[in-house]
Structure 1
């Protein structure tokens, strides 16, 4: 194994805070992106349903 302990994995020779904050930012932005896409999809579906109701 590359790291001898969990502490060494988290510290990463002093680079741990930078590395783990990048991972955290990545997953936060990924989650926001998925949430925003789902919200836009629901909004578009609602608009299509309203359009179909008006033109039926």
Structure 2
């Protein structure tokens, strides 16, 4: 199919579409777990703050 490495990377004239598609896919696969982890940490932090606020309110009302 391809007689050289340069021809392979050119992808028959569709290199820009092919390699940018691979790049976007790789970027999404890298970013998704990082963003999920950051959101999870933010949610846990918020829940801890809410729990501390409730405990503080209970201590004040007693």
TM-score, normalisation: structure 2: 0.65
Unaligned runs of 5+ in 2: 56-62
Offset at residue 35 of structure 1 (A): 2.5
Q: Which runs of 4+ in 1 moved over 3 A?
A: none
Larger Rg: 2
Distance 2:14 2:44 in 1: 45
Deviation (angstroms), 1:27:
1.6
Count of residues paired in the alignment? 55
Task: Give distance in 2, aligned partners of 1:44 and 1:10.
Answer: 44
Q: CA–CA distance in 2 between the matches of 1:4 and 1:44?
A: 53
Deviation at 1:8, TM superposition (A): 2.0
Q: CA RMSD in A?
A: 1.9
Query: Any idea what SS the aligned residue of 2:3 has?
Result: coil
TM-score, length-scaled by structure 1: 0.70
Unmatched 5+ residue regions in structure 1? none
Higher normalized helix content (fraction of residues): 2
